[in-house]
Structures are given as C-alpha cells and as structure tokens.
C-alpha cells in the first residue's frame, strides 16, 4: 500500500512539471477505505474525506514515417 501511494506521489510531481492531461486521485473514503477517481467526474468529491495522492498521465502516440 505504501508503495502504491509513493508511486502516485512521484507521478504527481513529475506530471505537474510536465503538464500532463489525465489526472487521477486517491483519497480516503468518508466511510473508510480507499477511493480512486479520474478528475473531472462529478460526485467523486462527495465521497472523499482526505486526498492522499494525485497522479498525472498522458497518452503517448507512436509516430512512424
């Protein structure tokens, strides 16, 4: 579990600097346990008690020619 959170935190720092587009957040669920969601979806903020980590991703496109 700690490794997953550390990975997400590291990805967050890298993503913030690179300006990646897709953003995912892991938080403590208000009723206990963990909850993860893609930013921008409605209703997810209602179940989060405390954000633990945010990760940023982008899609790489293979270009040939």
Domain boundaries, the chain: 2-57
Q: What is the C-alpha separation between 57 and 35, in angstroms, rounded?
A: 18
Mean pLDDT of 2-30: 64
Whether the full predicted model's pTM is greater than 0.75, yes or no, is: no
Q: What is the C-alpha separation between 15 and 13, in angstroms, rounded?
A: 6
Q: What is the C-alpha separation between 45 and 7, in angstroms, rounded?
A: 22
Judge whether residue 6 has pLDDT over 50: yes
Q: pLDDT tens-digit profile of 32-65?
A: 887 777 776 655 666 677 777 777 776 565 445 4
Q: In Å, how far are 15, 21, 55, 64 from 61, measured between CA atoms? A: 17, 14, 20, 10
Q: What is the C-alpha separation between 48 and 51, in angstroms, rounded?
A: 7
């Amino acid at each position: 579990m700690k490794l997953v959170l550390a990975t997400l935190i590291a990805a967050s720092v890298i993503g913030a600097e690179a300006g990646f587009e897709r953003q995912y957040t892991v938080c403590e669920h208000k009723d206990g346990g963990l909850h993860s969601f893609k930013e921008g979806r409605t209703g997810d903020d209602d179940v989060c008690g405390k954000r633990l980590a945010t990760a940023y991703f982008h899609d790489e496109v293979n270009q040939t020619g």
